[in-house]
Amino acid sequence: MTNRSDFTANEMMTIAAARALSNDDVCFVGIGAPSAACNVARLTHAPDITLIYESGTIGTAPNVLPLSIGDGELCETAVTTVSVPEMFRYWLQGGRISIGFLGAAQIDRFGNINTTVIGDYRKPKVRLPGGGGAPEIATSCQEVFITMKQATRSMVETIDFYTSFGHGTGGDHRRRLGITTKGPTLLITDLAVWRPDPETKEFTVVSMHPGVDRNMIQETCGWTVRFSESVEETPPPSDLELTTLRELQARTERAHGGKKGN
Active site residues: 54
Amino acid residing at 211: G
Burial of 94 per CB tally in 10 Å (0-12, 13-18, 19+): exposed
Burial letters for 195-231: b for 16+ Cβ neighbours within 10 Å, e otherwise? ebbeeebbbbbbbbbeebeeebbbebbbbebeeeeee
Rounded Cα distance between 260 and 262, Å, is 6
Rounded Cα distance between 78 and 198, Å, is 37
Would you report the helix, strand and coil content of the chain in percent, each value rounded to 5?
Answer: 30, 20, 50
Whole-number CA gyration radius for the chain: 18
Residue 126 has a CB neighbour count (10 Å cut-off) of 10
Burial letters for 12-25: b for 16+ Cβ neighbours within 10 Å, e otherwise? bbbbbbbbbbeeeb
Identify whether the C-beta of residue 66 lies closer than 8 Å to the C-beta of residue 88. Answer: no
Rounded Cα distance between 54 and 136, Å, is 11
